[in-house]
Amino acid sequence: MIEYTDTEFHPRDPADRTWTETTVLIISIPEEQIFGNAYILARPNLGVTLSSIILAQGFCRQPYEVDFTDPQMHLPCPESFSNYSLENGLTVSSDGPRNYQMKYKNALGAASFDLTFEGLHDPFDPHDPAMNPLLEADRKVADIRKGDEWENGHFEVKGRIRGELELRGKRYRVDSYEGMDHSWGPRTEIGTRSVSWVSVNFGDDFAMHMAVPMTVTDGQVRYDKIRFGYVVENGQVYGLVDGTVEAERVDMLAFSNRLTATDVRGRTYEFFGTAIAGHPWYTFNPSHVCYQSLFRYQQGDSVGYGEMGDIFGLDYLAERLSRHGREKAGRTQ
């Protein structure tokens, strides 16, 4: 169960140099096809923080097409993880896991924002069996694709994001629905991760999240059954008991998808999405890449949006897609 204090740094072994705490806010302006993230990764035992801001409009297959990127490593770690300012111009404040405010001003004047996140529900805890009906089955499976990020402390919240954003001299109003999360615990960075973060948001009334392991076979990305997930209806959270993902992609970016899910009440959901923006995000972690797309979904007269972020360890991809990786696979077959 997530507590009010879980926005802060957590008790830890001070000798564990791998202890990591993260916060990420997804930023989107669907009507302008603008999409990005504000990401913070702190290692309090080392006294350092990584902060990555990325904003892009439309589809960007190459890093140089991305409108704005500001990754800064080895910033001094703050004393608090719920109210702090970093030397890159980012300020974060929170009065609990459901509510955040993030302000940012780039040193070169290329981008800025002032955003509030208002959560729609109590945080989802994937390690609470009362919230995650798939927890026990997941614990029995040792899988290097999971990574440490969701193996330790973690919560997810869906909410409304409002405020203003400026990107290279052009101002935009932000009023969208998305998710944010906080993770904490020991974390090694060995590049074996292969998992997708899938989000669907239809305003105040409905949202869905799924965490889905992926496999790269014969050069194709395929999705396993979900690890965990939930839907939010009118502020109430219901864990998922099943879910699937299919996607078509170009240069690893997903351009269309089909999602299915079943919650603990037996209700089933199906969504067909079309991407309206996307880019590779290399700057949140040197050993990983996230191919993230912003999808549009329509159910009847309702339109929703959501991120689909396919997160790969670079070594995981290299073992399967690089020249030497393919040659080794051929020799062992």
Strands (E), 120-234: 153-167, 170-186, 194-202, 206-217, 220-223, 228-233
- pLDDT at 136 (0 to 100): 83
The C-alpha atoms of residue 192 and residue 124 are separated, in whole angstroms, by 25
Kind of pairing between the strands at 228-233 and 83-85: unpaired
What's the number of CA atoms in the CB half-sphere (13 Å) around residue 88? 26
- pLDDT at 145 (0 to 100): 44
Q: What is the pLDDT along the chain (333 residues), one digit of tens a residue?
A: 899 899 999 999 999 999 999 999 999 999 999 999 999 999 999 999 999 999 999 999 998 999 999 999 999 999 999 999 999 999 999 999 999 999 999 999 999 999 999 999 999 999 999 999 999 875 656 555 455 555 689 999 999 999 999 999 999 999 999 999 999 999 988 888 899 999 999 999 999 999 999 999 988 999 999 999 999 999 999 999 999 999 999 999 999 999 999 999 999 999 999 999 999 999 988 999 999 999 999 999 999 999 999 999 999 999 999 999 988 877 665
Residue 49's Cβ-count burial label (10 Å; 0-12, 13-18, 19+) is: buried
- pLDDT at 190 (0 to 100): 84
For residues 81, 82, 84 and 89, what is the CA-based torsion angle, rounded to 10 degrees? 90
Q: Which DSSP category does 313 fall into?
A: E
Residues with Cβ within 8 Å of 153's Cβ and at least 6 positions away in sequence, in order, are 6, 10, 127, 182, 183, 184, 185
Q: Which stretches within the chain are classed as H helix?
A: 135-139, 314-321, 323-332
- pLDDT at 328 (0 to 100): 80
User: Contact, 309 vs 292, CB < 8 A?
Assistant: yes
